[in-house]
Copies of this chain bind each other. A is one copy, B any other.
């Protein structure tokens, strides 16, 4: 049960079988930082190239293909005062005939007040003025090395996690990821101070983060897609296009979970899910879209 303080010095543009930066054991906690999606750190310095650069990978001792990695987000919080968003909804999120009406894709700047827990729009000047939103810090991209020796861009997502941009990945949540390679090889990055569903402008309020997480290992537990839980819900995550397929992955994973781990018979799982399921939209911007299938724990 060691707590590691780790300061990243280089970053990855792919999630894959890269050289581990730290070896940790099940039960260990890591205190570290992530840079923003453009490669800037807490001092606002460009320390790596952009596009969701990832800290890690963290090698989890004894993790083997066929296990599940449980990743608890202990703490996720911006570690600087400026964040950025895009100014235009993405072309793929509006009617094709409406694309010509989209504003130019530029950068908006937000002032983050970490003490008060708010983010305020600084520019451009719009009728929103200095719109001020409550912080809801979440991690946009994290995952473990995918199967078959693949190294996959941090702009997309799959069964191994990746750039899911789900607002539910906040401090207090436990995420379960399937292990495909020895050591699991955990990566993290792309913190958002605030984000709307779907990450429809292609960004949350992009900012560098202080991160603390704790890992556990579920030996011999096989899962197919990321799972998670918070105080009120269990949930499963599907990453694919179109959204329909992401829903199919997440729903299938939930049906399996209910029957394998919650002792429900098939009929019970289906009847329960039919009347109590909820769905959230992760991102609808990346090559793979994300849908989340949720079930309130009170019904379990």
Interface residues of A (CB under 8 A from B): 13-14, 16, 51, 85-103, 108, 121, 124, 126-128, 131, 133, 147-153, 194-201, 203-205, 240-245, 247-249, 251-252, 255, 263-268, 270-281, 284, 289, 299
* 24 CB < 8 A contacts A-B: A13-B149, A16-B151, A51-B148, A89-B255, A89-B270, A92-B96, A92-B248, A93-B251, A100-B100, A102-B270, A121-B271, A126-B265, A126-B268, A131-B271, A148-B153, A150-B152, A194-B275, A197-B279, A200-B273, A200-B277, A203-B274, A240-B241, A243-B243, A279-B280
User: Is B263's CB under 8 angstroms from A127's CB?
Assistant: yes
User: Is B279's CB under 8 angstroms from A281's CB?
Assistant: yes
Please indicate the chain B residues that have their CB under 8 angstroms from the CB of A153 in the complex. Answer: 147-148, 150
- Complex Cα spacing A126 to B148, Å: 36
Please indicate the chain B residues that have their CB under 8 angstroms from the CB of A96 in the complex. Answer: 90-92, 96, 99, 248
Please indicate the chain B residues that have their CB under 8 angstroms from the CB of A87 in the complex. Answer: 267, 270-271, 274
- Complex Cα spacing A278 to B96, Å: 21
- CB contact between A94 and one of B243, B255, B275 (< 8 Å): that residue: B255
CB distance from A172 to the nearest CB of B (A): 20
Q: A14-B148, A94-B251, A247-B284 are in contact. Are A274 and B89 (CB under 8 A)?
A: yes
Please indicate the chain B residues that have their CB under 8 angstroms from the CB of A51 in the complex. Answer: 148
Q: A241-B242, A275-B195 are in contact. Are A99 and B99 (CB under 8 A)?
A: yes
CB distance from A160 to the nearest CB of B (A): 12
Please indicate the chain B residues that have their CB under 8 angstroms from the CB of A242 in the complex. Answer: 241-244
User: Is B274's CB under 8 angstroms from A98's CB?
Assistant: no
- Complex Cα spacing A203 to B108, Å: 42
